[in-house]
Protein backbone atom coordinates (compact mmCIF):
# COMPACT_ATOMS: atom_id res chain seq x y z
CA UNK A 1 0.00 0.00 0.00
CA UNK A 2 1.42 3.38 -0.96
CA UNK A 3 1.83 6.20 1.56
CA UNK A 4 -0.96 8.17 -0.12
CA UNK A 5 -3.34 5.24 0.18
CA UNK A 6 -2.38 4.66 3.81
CA UNK A 7 -3.01 8.31 4.66
CA UNK A 8 -6.42 8.25 2.99
CA UNK A 9 -7.31 5.02 4.79
CA UNK A 10 -6.41 6.50 8.17
CA UNK A 11 -8.25 9.75 7.35
CA UNK A 12 -11.30 7.81 6.27
CA UNK A 13 -11.29 5.75 9.50
CA UNK A 14 -10.86 8.89 11.62
CA UNK A 15 -13.66 10.86 9.93
CA UNK A 16 -15.96 7.82 9.95
CA UNK A 17 -15.32 7.27 13.68
CA UNK A 18 -16.25 10.87 14.44
CA UNK A 19 -19.35 10.51 12.26
CA UNK A 20 -20.34 7.27 14.01
CA UNK A 21 -19.82 8.79 17.47
CA UNK A 22 -21.54 12.11 16.85
CA UNK A 23 -25.25 12.32 17.26
CA UNK A 24 -27.56 15.08 16.02
CA UNK A 25 -29.81 16.13 18.88
CA UNK A 26 -32.81 17.18 16.82
CA UNK A 27 -33.86 13.70 15.69
CA UNK A 28 -34.22 10.21 17.09
CA UNK A 29 -35.54 6.83 16.08
CA UNK A 30 -37.55 4.61 18.35
CA UNK A 31 -38.47 1.01 17.71
CA UNK A 32 -41.52 -0.32 19.51
CA UNK A 33 -43.86 -3.25 19.85
CA UNK A 34 -47.60 -2.67 19.85
CA UNK A 35 -49.11 -5.15 22.29
CA UNK A 36 -52.62 -5.60 23.66
CA UNK A 37 -51.36 -5.59 27.25
CA UNK A 38 -49.18 -2.51 26.68
CA UNK A 39 -46.11 -2.40 24.49
CA UNK A 40 -42.76 -0.76 25.04
CA UNK A 41 -40.11 0.93 22.96
CA UNK A 42 -36.74 -0.79 22.87
CA UNK A 43 -35.06 2.35 24.19
CA UNK A 44 -36.13 5.93 24.88
CA UNK A 45 -35.81 8.50 22.13
CA UNK A 46 -33.44 11.14 23.49
CA UNK A 47 -33.41 14.66 22.06
CA UNK A 48 -31.30 17.68 22.86
CA UNK A 49 -33.08 20.47 24.65
CA UNK A 50 -33.01 23.94 23.07
CA UNK A 51 -33.69 23.22 19.38
CA UNK A 52 -36.60 24.85 17.58
CA UNK A 53 -37.88 21.66 15.95
CA UNK A 54 -37.50 17.90 16.31
CA UNK A 55 -38.18 14.78 14.29
CA UNK A 56 -38.95 11.43 15.84
CA UNK A 57 -39.14 8.39 13.60
CA UNK A 58 -41.26 5.92 15.52
CA UNK A 59 -41.35 2.48 13.97
CA UNK A 60 -43.44 -0.23 15.53
CA UNK A 61 -44.53 -3.78 14.88
CA UNK A 62 -47.91 -5.14 15.94
CA UNK A 63 -47.61 -8.25 18.08
CA UNK A 64 -50.34 -10.90 17.77
CA UNK A 65 -53.06 -11.13 18.86
CA UNK A 66 -53.56 -7.35 18.95
CA UNK A 67 -55.75 -5.85 16.31
CA UNK A 68 -57.68 -2.63 16.36
CA UNK A 69 -57.40 1.12 15.97
CA UNK A 70 -55.04 3.24 18.03
CA UNK A 71 -55.01 6.95 18.74
CA UNK A 72 -51.49 8.41 18.80
CA UNK A 73 -50.86 11.25 21.26
CA UNK A 74 -47.74 13.11 22.33
CA UNK A 75 -48.12 13.68 26.07
CA UNK A 76 -46.11 15.92 28.38
CA UNK A 77 -45.95 19.44 29.75
CA UNK A 78 -45.51 22.09 28.48
CA UNK A 79 -47.39 20.97 25.38
CA UNK A 80 -45.53 20.63 22.12
CA UNK A 81 -47.03 21.39 18.73
CA UNK A 82 -46.74 18.24 16.70
CA UNK A 83 -47.75 16.61 13.45
CA UNK A 84 -47.74 12.89 12.73
CA UNK A 85 -47.26 11.41 9.26
CA UNK A 86 -47.41 7.75 8.30
CA UNK A 87 -44.89 6.45 5.80
CA UNK A 88 -46.86 4.94 2.94
CA UNK A 89 -46.49 4.52 -0.84
CA UNK A 90 -47.46 7.67 -2.71
CA UNK A 91 -49.35 5.68 -5.33
CA UNK A 92 -50.77 2.76 -3.39
CA UNK A 93 -51.30 -0.17 -5.73
CA UNK A 94 -53.27 -1.91 -2.95
CA UNK A 95 -51.26 -5.09 -3.26
CA UNK A 96 -51.46 -5.37 0.53
CA UNK A 97 -53.83 -4.13 3.16
CA UNK A 98 -52.11 -1.50 5.27
CA UNK A 99 -53.01 0.49 8.37
CA UNK A 100 -54.04 4.07 7.65
CA UNK A 101 -53.54 7.25 9.66
CA UNK A 102 -56.37 9.78 9.81
CA UNK A 103 -56.64 12.52 12.43
CA UNK A 104 -53.85 10.88 14.46
CA UNK A 105 -55.70 7.55 14.63
CA UNK A 106 -54.09 4.46 13.16
CA UNK A 107 -56.91 2.43 11.63
CA UNK A 108 -56.90 -1.30 11.03
CA UNK A 109 -53.75 -2.42 12.84
CA UNK A 110 -53.37 -6.15 12.34
CA UNK A 111 -50.89 -8.68 13.79
CA UNK A 112 -47.38 -8.33 12.31
CA UNK A 113 -48.11 -4.99 10.64
CA UNK A 114 -45.09 -2.71 10.68
CA UNK A 115 -45.64 1.02 10.76
CA UNK A 116 -43.26 3.97 10.48
CA UNK A 117 -44.49 7.28 11.87
CA UNK A 118 -42.73 10.60 11.39
CA UNK A 119 -43.49 12.86 14.32
CA UNK A 120 -42.55 16.51 13.80
CA UNK A 121 -42.41 18.37 17.10
CA UNK A 122 -42.15 22.06 17.80
CA UNK A 123 -41.55 23.09 21.41
CA UNK A 124 -43.07 26.29 22.77
CA UNK A 125 -40.97 29.32 23.65
CA UNK A 126 -40.37 29.39 27.42
CA UNK A 127 -40.00 32.17 29.93
CA UNK A 128 -36.29 31.80 30.88
CA UNK A 129 -37.00 32.66 34.53
CA UNK A 130 -40.03 30.59 35.49
CA UNK A 131 -40.07 28.15 32.56
CA UNK A 132 -43.70 28.88 31.67
CA UNK A 133 -44.76 28.18 28.06
CA UNK A 134 -45.53 31.11 25.76
CA UNK A 135 -49.03 32.53 25.47
CA UNK A 136 -50.32 35.76 23.96
CA UNK A 137 -49.93 37.63 27.28
CA UNK A 138 -46.15 37.29 27.12
CA UNK A 139 -43.99 40.36 26.51
CA UNK A 140 -40.86 40.43 24.34
CA UNK A 141 -37.52 41.72 25.53
CA UNK A 142 -34.29 41.85 23.53
CA UNK A 143 -30.97 41.28 25.25
CA UNK A 144 -27.59 40.90 23.49
CA UNK A 145 -29.34 40.62 20.14
CA UNK A 146 -31.49 37.71 21.33
CA UNK A 147 -35.24 37.74 21.90
CA UNK A 148 -36.59 36.63 25.27
CA UNK A 149 -40.23 36.28 26.25
CA UNK A 150 -41.63 36.82 29.76
CA UNK A 151 -44.93 35.92 31.39
CA UNK A 152 -44.89 38.92 33.78
CA UNK A 153 -43.13 42.11 34.79
CA UNK A 154 -41.78 40.21 37.80
CA UNK A 155 -39.95 37.64 35.64
CA UNK A 156 -38.65 40.36 33.32
CA UNK A 157 -37.32 42.32 36.29
CA UNK A 158 -35.64 39.22 37.76
CA UNK A 159 -34.01 38.60 34.37
CA UNK A 160 -32.84 42.23 34.05
CA UNK A 161 -31.04 42.04 37.37
CA UNK A 162 -28.87 39.08 36.32
CA UNK A 163 -29.40 38.16 32.64
CA UNK A 164 -26.31 35.91 32.58
CA UNK A 165 -28.08 33.56 35.02
CA UNK A 166 -30.96 32.86 32.65
CA UNK A 167 -30.53 31.14 29.33
CA UNK A 168 -33.27 29.89 27.09
CA UNK A 169 -32.98 26.16 27.60
CA UNK A 170 -36.01 24.74 25.82
CA UNK A 171 -38.21 21.95 27.11
CA UNK A 172 -36.66 19.32 29.38
CA UNK A 173 -37.70 15.98 30.74
CA UNK A 174 -39.94 13.15 29.73
CA UNK A 175 -42.68 13.17 27.12
CA UNK A 176 -44.50 10.10 25.86
CA UNK A 177 -45.68 9.17 22.42
CA UNK A 178 -48.61 7.04 23.51
CA UNK A 179 -50.77 4.72 21.41
CA UNK A 180 -54.23 4.14 22.93
CA UNK A 181 -56.58 1.48 21.66
CA UNK A 182 -59.75 3.38 20.70
CA UNK A 183 -62.06 0.63 22.05
CA UNK A 184 -60.54 -0.11 25.43
CA UNK A 185 -58.68 3.18 26.01
CA UNK A 186 -55.64 1.14 27.12
CA UNK A 187 -52.13 2.10 26.03
CA UNK A 188 -50.85 -0.46 23.54
CA UNK A 189 -47.48 1.27 23.14
CA UNK A 190 -45.69 4.01 25.10
CA UNK A 191 -42.55 5.54 23.63
CA UNK A 192 -40.60 7.74 26.06
CA UNK A 193 -39.31 10.90 24.39
CA UNK A 194 -36.72 12.52 26.63
CA UNK A 195 -35.35 16.04 26.23
CA UNK A 196 -31.90 16.38 27.77
CA UNK A 197 -29.45 19.24 28.15
CA UNK A 198 -26.48 19.19 25.77
CA UNK A 199 -24.06 17.89 28.41
CA UNK A 200 -26.27 14.90 29.19
CA UNK A 201 -26.55 13.78 25.59
CA UNK A 202 -23.45 11.64 25.33
CA UNK A 203 -25.09 8.28 25.92
CA UNK A 204 -28.12 9.14 23.82
CA UNK A 205 -28.92 7.12 20.75
CA UNK A 206 -26.36 4.41 21.40
CA UNK A 207 -28.82 1.73 20.50
CA UNK A 208 -30.71 3.59 17.89
CA UNK A 209 -31.44 0.64 15.69
x/- string (CB under 8 A) for other proteins, residues 49-88? ----xxx---x-----------------------x-xxxx
Taking the least distance from each CB to other proteins, the nearer of 52 and 183 is 52
**96: phi then psi, degrees, rounded to nearest 5:** -135, 150
CB of 52 to other proteins, least distance (A): 11
DSSP E strands, the chain: 27-34, 39-40, 45-48, 54-62, 68-75, 81-86, 100-102, 105-109, 114-122, 139-143, 146-150, 173-181, 187-196
CB atoms within 10 A of CB 1: 7
Residue 23 lies near other proteins (rule: CB under 8 A): yes
Do 159 and 141 touch, CB atoms closer than 8 A? yes
Interaction mask 148-187, other proteins, x per CB under 8 A: ----------------------------------------
**Shortest Å, Cβ 8 to other proteins:** 4
Taking alpha carbons only, the member of 38, 129, 131 closest to residue 77 is: 131
User: Which residues on neighbouring strands pair with residue 107, listed in sequence order?
Assistant: 100
Decide if 56 contacts 27 (C-beta within 8 A): yes
Is the CB of 13 or the CB of 197 nearer to other proteins? 13
**Which one, 3 or 162, has the nearer CB to other proteins?**
3
Q: Is residue 93 close enough to count as binding other proteins by CB under 8 A?
A: yes
Calculate ∠ Cα 28-118-43, nearest 5°: 35
Among 120, 133, 168, 201, which residue interacts with other proteins (rule: CB under 8 A)? 120
**Helices assigned H by DSSP within 47-194:** 153-161
Is 209 one of the binding residues for other proteins (CB under 8 A)? yes
Residue range at the interface with other proteins (CB under 8 A); choices 24-32, 130-138, 148-156, 179-187: 24-32
Measured distance CA(149)–CA(15) in Å, rounded: 40
Stretch of 14-22, 33-41, 146-154, 163-171 contacting other proteins, by CB under 8 A: 14-22
* Binding footprint of other proteins on the chain (CB under 8 A): 1, 4-6, 8-13, 16-17, 19-24, 26-27, 29, 53-55, 59, 83, 85-93, 95-96, 98, 113-114, 116, 118, 120, 205-209
Amino acid sequence: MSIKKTIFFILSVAVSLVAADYRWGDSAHSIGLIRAKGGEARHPATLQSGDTGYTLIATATVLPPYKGNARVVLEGEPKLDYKIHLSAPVVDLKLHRKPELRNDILYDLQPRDRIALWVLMKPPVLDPVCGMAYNDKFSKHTHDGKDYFFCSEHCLETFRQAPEKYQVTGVRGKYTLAFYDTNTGKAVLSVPVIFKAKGDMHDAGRHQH
